[in-house]
Amino acid sequence: MYASTIAPTPAPRSGWIEAPAIAQAPDAPQQFSRRIAATLKLLAEKLAVQRRVVHTGDRIYQAGREFGCLYIVNSGIYKIVSLMPDGREQVVALKFRGDWLGLDGIAAGRYGSDAIAMDTGEVWAIPYEALLEACLKERQLLNALHEAMSRDIAGERDSLLSVCTLPADARVADFLRYWAESLAKRGMRTDQITLRMTRAEIGNYLGLTLESVSRALSKLARARVIGFAAKCRREVEIPDVEALSAFVQRSLLPQASLQ
């Protein structure tokens, strides 16, 4: 669809040639979930975290306000909304249990986005300065923080990127796959997920119009890759996450689009 190759860069010189890449070792099934639990436990023990129950639409922090706290998600799902310089609002990320909120505020001293709860959940507020103090004493904490930031850098990039280079149908499929995978990694069910976003919001996140999202979902349903729960088009049944991945792959093939 889009440019699939980049111009070759001259071959490496000097002593910089590195050994061939090695396949990435995936986390064991539930290891990720356990690490999250361990980090949360550590935080609760070493710091006076402030637990806050939030409801749909609550704003955890707001772009432009002075940075002070980081927040770690204990439960619930959150959207990160960025106000672009030209005034448009844009959903830029989704956050689940174990993810940190507000990391983008460290550098500027102000939050760079809004974090909004998409359902009832609990976040823990952690004053950044106190966290730093604790990190200096507890190496594990520092590692956890750095890991979270690093994950943010790599993860957000990947999800945004697939999204920017895929045709519309595949974008929506990949979005569902990403959501399901995020739940799965945290040990939650994925055969039936509740999208807590309108078609317009999904479209905003994916760079599509709401009509395109709707069409794509209908198409995925026709192809039996997903199903809709009776009575509610926000509930999506995903009998097989692999089928979603396969659909995305298929749409990248040269002679795609016929179906």
Binder among 86, 139, 231, 253 for DNA (CB under 7 A): 231
In the window 117-136, what residues touch a second copy (CB under 8 A)? Answer: 132, 135-136
In the window 237-256, what residues touch DNA (CB under 7 A)? Answer: 256
d(CA 145, CA 59) in angstroms, rounded, equals 23
At residue 155, the 3 state secondary structure works out as: helix
* 2 in contact with DNA (CB under 7 A): yes
Kindly determine how many residues on this chain lie close enough to bind DNA according to the rule CB under 7 A. 29
The region of 19-27, 37-45, 222-230, 232-240 touching a second copy under the rule CB under 8 A is 19-27
The region of 4-12, 183-191, 218-226, 233-241 touching a second copy under the rule CB under 8 A is 4-12
How big is the CA angle at 27 (ends 26 and 32), to the nearest 5 degrees? 150
Q: How far is CA 138 from the centre of its chain?
A: 28
Query: Which partner from the list DNA, a second copy, none does 174 bind, CB cut-off 5 to 8 Å by kind?
Result: none
DSSP 79: E
Residue 126 CB partners (closer than 8 Å, separation 6+): 43, 47, 49, 50, 69, 70, 71, 72
Query: Which partner from the list a second copy, DNA, none does 157 bind, CB cut-off 5 to 8 Å by kind?
Result: a second copy
In the window 150-189, what residues touch DNA (CB under 7 A)? Answer: 167-169
In the window 125-184, what residues touch a second copy (CB under 8 A)? Answer: 132, 135-136, 139, 142, 146-154, 156-158, 160-165
Which tokens sit at 242?
Answer: 């692999």
Where does this chain bind DNA (CB under 7 A)?
Answer: 1-3, 7-8, 167-169, 198-200, 207-215, 217-218, 228, 231-234, 256-257
